[in-house]
Amino acid sequence: MGAPPDPFAEAAAAQRMSLVRQIVAGGGLTDPAWRAAFEHVPRHLFVPYYFGTAWGTTSGAYERLWCEDADPGRRDRWLRGAYADTPLATRVRDGELLSSSSQPSLMALMLDALEVTDGDTALEIGAGSGYNAALLAHRLGDASVTTVDLDPEITESARRHLAAAGFRPAVVTGDGARGCPEHAPFDCIIATCTLPSVPAAWLPQCSTGARIVAPLSTGLIALRVSGDGSARRAEGHFLRTSAYFVPLRGGAVPAPGRPGRMPRRVIDNDLFRFLVTLTAGSLDPHEALSLWERERHPQRNRFGVTVSGDHQWAWLDDPEGPYAWPLGVEQPE
């Protein structure tokens, strides 16, 4: 038996096109293939319920909106919210956000940064609702996409959502920090959870020239993989945008340094918080402030990351320059 008819299909199509126009007006979806994916993939099938916006709320403030609500007004709010350019909390446990559907315009930016071409294979870390995997599958084909999540409840619901929308990529329950060696090699890896560092297991699973796009600190790093064997290396800059995601579970995330007594204008500055988090454990926050002011409040895209062998470090302007800091160390096996 096929999937039952979607009662929201017509209204959702109009909402979806409106979302695409909004992302395009903001400078996104310049690649026609990704624009076609966003026009085709029905986001509402991946968020049959959600808890309002994913960020800046406490568990008591989450409002559950549901596609089968008896109140037509609330159903309409659910559908409009499903196509709003905002992140949506999809799984909350004991007040902790476990999974979300990311902001569509940010997803578009990350997918574009992967620089995929026809025939590429992709690994997604953090299955979430399954929506991002569906976009990848629309662009590359089901057989070319693998998505991994640690929580079996999340992978099961993602698998159901994907099937309802007509997609069947590989959905694997496992630790994303270990990648998915049975489906390797990959031409690109995209993570939808914040990393403390680049997992060592990823690079051996990448083809030469592969692209890695992942949240790190409060930004998005875009790495290019080069070399073979022990000479395998990945390097690249952060994108200019900010990015806040659920942390990768199963690994240790270094605690940000404590700014202490500093002017509120500094503590509340997004770029300064990025620097403090990026250099946590390596640079005292007051030293970070001195650097930040000396370099005239550097944007994220002046920073980068290098992964070489067992070592990885973040840097400002030049990977071999004077400003470099080791990234967080992964938990031992």
Q: Residues 114, 122: contact at Cβ < 8 Å?
A: yes
The Cα–Cα gap between 272 and 251 comes to 25
Residues ≥6 apart with Cβ < 8 Å to 25: none
| Residue 188 backbone dihedrals phi, psi, to 5 degrees | -160, 150
Catalytic: which of 102, 129, 157, 197?
102
- 80-99: buried (b, 16+ CB within 10 Å) or exposed (e) per residue? ebbbbbbbbbbbbeeeebbb
Is position 102 annotated as part of the catalytic site?
yes
Does residue 185 have a cis bond before it (omega within 30 degrees)? yes
- Please give the full DSSP string across 124-183, using - where no structure is assigned: EE--TTSHHHHHHHHHH-GGGEEEEES-HHHHHHHHHHHHHTT---EEEES-GGG--GGG
- Catalytically active residues, by annotation: 102
